[in-house]
Amino acid sequence: MCSAKGCRRAAEWVLVWNNPKLHTPDRRKTWVACGEHRDHLGEFLSVRGFLKETVPLAEYGA
């Protein structure tokens, strides 16, 4: 399910991120997003310098 607040759509994307003030460089956190919220969530993370990569859910961890 999409990580955007209030969204109940199925996740299609994985946004892989890291907050360097809190996490070691190799630690990765994830948010998942539907197609509609991918850009919004990605921009939120990018502006803060947290976003590492965005991959299709079907390919994540494959």
Is residue 3 in some structural domain? no
Largest CA distance in the chain: 31
- Domain of 18 in residue numbering reads as 13-59
Is residue 5 in some structural domain? no
Is residue 32 in some structural domain? yes
Is residue 29 in some structural domain? yes
pLDDT tens readout for residues 7-58: 999 999 999 999 999 999 999 999 999 999 999 999 999 999 999 999 999 9
* Total count of domains within the chain: 1
Is residue 21 in some structural domain? yes
With tokens 């991959």, the residue in question is 55
Q: What is the pLDDT of residue 31?
A: 98
Residues pairing with 33 in the sheet: 13
Reported confidence tier of residue 62, pLDDT bands at 50, 70, 90: low
Task: Tell me the two tokens of residue 27.
Answer: 């630690």
Is residue 43 in some structural domain? yes
Is residue 2 in some structural domain? no
Provide the residue count of the chain: 62
